[in-house]
Chains A and B, each alone.
Chain A
């Protein structure tokens, strides 16, 4: 039996002790910097898509990468865009800093239509939007220090200020002692930390993450996601990330958008999407996270009760996070008014909403199920109760 829970919002604060990073003092310093700068806001930026379409022409054939995307990303949120490969995630992300131009429709950053910007204005916009990449894209001919300093250098920031900010960022990502190393001597996780430092060196309002953890192992992925979450919490930077892994969405995002064939399949708060996915694409993406029926039960499962001999009825209780309804084992026992054996299941707390699934076995009591759901005067034990079969008992 697996029973997974997380401590809701507290997990990030608790876990940050384990990363060995002293984000708080440095983050405060960056905060102070941002407040001091009259032009920059202390909060993150907003992104609005209005009927964005993107069509590519590859050898005479028009490929519709994005179709009619309308969407608002609020300031300070961690917004996830998920989809299978080729769904258009990358194109969508790249329209935010105009690495790609939409074929039609508008993209607005802080209310300004970015298609209207001239080259100088575009450069300034890009300095307000940091970006990190799946393959890190660090310059191999420059040291860690020079990589992080480059965005400031090309912006003509004075040397003492560059030194101060690069030091600050290196401390934030915990790589100060690696400052003179060249990227090829770093591990994947370290490279991405350098990438993050480089993306934050202009104190941006928005951070774009292009599959930022897809080239990393699970442990390093957790570390990087934690750092991103920390940055979002402490600095208020809006983070837009694209991924093909639901686990990434679950760990860091507030809002999620599912993209399928260039269209929005569904969107909403992360807990809702996990608890009650409505689109096929979402369900497919969630599949790797779902707890499958254990093998020993699956092979003995029958669709009808055995004619002779004793059997147990297997019920699946689903929770989608709505209305504060949570798995309550004593309540289940009381409502079903019988012995309840917990066979298998998993419950996640996402943004404070419990969602998941329990498999329980009860002695032959088919009749009880009808009232156990939400009907009758009995309290509900789950959002959905379903008999998935019967297992003979020796």
Chain B
């Protein structure tokens, strides 16, 4: 092997940290955003066209910007937050910022598909707004939200490889530096294989969890 196994482990761990941390941030921020989008939408129980539109525009703005551009554009902000613009932790900032609106939109769709009859039933039984979000909207939309998490994680894996190209570390970094710049095809192939396995594992776990949720 042209490269020690430790280098692969290190790159793999870096990728996991980037994807895991930015994915967690996207989830924790994206869910409230999606809930806010739903309840402020016309017909929602906290109806507010202004908040809804403002939120929608901000989300669309971030979603319209390609990740590679966003990453560069955010460098000053990244320095402010992570203290540096290079490395794994610096990559997490743009990754999280690009994944959050992406995930929020997917979660919003799942929440919107919850049967209005269930919300009516909850109101009729004396649920307050927060009870409805907690006991009806979120649990009923869970299969769709898990699907969104899966898609977001897969997207993050590929975006993190892109971040590797600008010196963020991780599997993408390895593939570019050894596979591309040093013409080491073996490294390239191994990295591709690891990425395929990683994406398959994420996708498969998500699918199995959704199937379990739906067949209880």
Residues of A within 8 A of B (CB): 97, 99, 119, 123-124, 126-127, 129-131, 133, 135, 137-142, 150-151, 153-155, 182, 184, 198-199, 202, 208
Inter-chain contact B125/A198, CB cutoff 8 Å:
yes
Q: Residues of B contacting A130 with CB < 8 Å?
A: 124-125
Q: Residues of B contacting A124 with CB < 8 Å?
A: 126
Inter-chain contact A126/B125, CB cutoff 8 Å:
yes
Partner-binding segment picked from B53-61, B92-100, B133-141: B133-141
Cβ < 8 Å to A, chain B residues 171-211: none
Which DSSP category, helix, strand, loop or mixed, fits chain B's interface? Answer: helix
Say whether, besides A123-B126, A154-B126, A154-B127, A137 and B135 are in contact (CB < 8 Å): no
CB of B130, distance to nearest CB on chain A (Å): 9
Which DSSP category, helix, strand, loop or mixed, fits chain A's interface? Answer: mixed
Number of A-B contacts (CB under 8 A): 65
Inter-chain contact B126/A137, CB cutoff 8 Å:
no
Cβ of B117 < 8 Å from any Cβ of A? yes
Inter-chain contact B140/A141, CB cutoff 8 Å:
yes
**Which residue of A137, A202, A208 is within 8 Å of B118 (Cβ)?**
A137
**Which residue of B115, B135, B140, B213 is within 8 Å of A150 (Cβ)?**
B135
Say whether, besides A99-B120, A133-B121, A141 and B127 are in contact (CB < 8 Å): no
CB of A101, distance to nearest CB on chain B (Å): 13
Inter-chain contact A97/B124, CB cutoff 8 Å:
yes
Inter-chain contact A131/B124, CB cutoff 8 Å:
yes
**Which residue of A137, A182, A184, A202 is within 8 Å of B117 (Cβ)?**
A137
Q: Residues of B contacting A137 with CB < 8 Å?
A: 115, 117-118, 120-121
Cβ of B113 < 8 Å from any Cβ of A? no
List 7 A–B pairs whose Cβ atoms lie within 8 Å, in order of A's numbering: A137-B117, A139-B135, A141-B213, A150-B135, A154-B127, A199-B125, A202-B125
Q: CA–CA, A133 to B131, complex, Å?
A: 20
Q: Residues of B contacting A199 with CB < 8 Å?
A: 125
CB of B127, distance to nearest CB on chain A (Å): 5
Inter-chain contact A99/B123, CB cutoff 8 Å:
yes
**Which residue of A119, A131, A135, A182 is within 8 Å of B125 (Cβ)?**
A131
Q: Which residue from chain A places its CB closest to the CB of B134 in the assembled complex? A: A154
Most buried by A among B117, B123, B131, B216: B216
Q: CA–CA, A131 to B119, complex, Å?
A: 13
Q: Which residue from chain A places its CB closest to the CB of B116 in the assembled complex? A: A137
Q: Which residue from chain A places its CB closest to the CB of B132 in the assembled complex? A: A154
Q: CA–CA, A99 to B122, complex, Å?
A: 11
Q: Residues of A contacting B121 with CB < 8 Å?
A: 131, 133, 137-138
Q: Which residue from chain B places its CB closest to the CB of A155 in the assembled complex? A: B126
**Which residue of B118, B124, B135 is within 8 Å of A126 (Cβ)?**
B124
Inter-chain contact A202/B126, CB cutoff 8 Å:
yes
Inter-chain contact B124/A139, CB cutoff 8 Å:
no
Inter-chain contact B136/A154, CB cutoff 8 Å:
no
Inter-chain contact A151/B142, CB cutoff 8 Å:
no
Cβ of B50 < 8 Å from any Cβ of A? no
Q: Residues of A contacting B127 with CB < 8 Å?
A: 123, 150-151, 154
Interface string of B14-25 (1 = CB under 8 A from A): 000000000000
Q: Residues of A contacting B131 with CB < 8 Å?
A: 154
Q: CA–CA, A47 to B125, complex, Å?
A: 18
Q: CA–CA, A123 to B123, complex, Å?
A: 8
Inter-chain contact A127/B126, CB cutoff 8 Å:
yes
Q: CA–CA, A322 to B118, complex, Å?
A: 45
CB of A138, distance to nearest CB on chain B (Å): 8
CB of B90, distance to nearest CB on chain A (Å): 39
Say whether, besides A133-B117, A154-B131, A154-B135, A140 and B140 are in contact (CB < 8 Å): yes
Q: CA–CA, A124 to B126, complex, Å?
A: 7
Q: CA–CA, A139 to B135, complex, Å?
A: 9
Inter-chain contact B118/A139, CB cutoff 8 Å:
yes
CB of A114, distance to nearest CB on chain B (Å): 13
Inter-chain contact B117/A126, CB cutoff 8 Å:
no
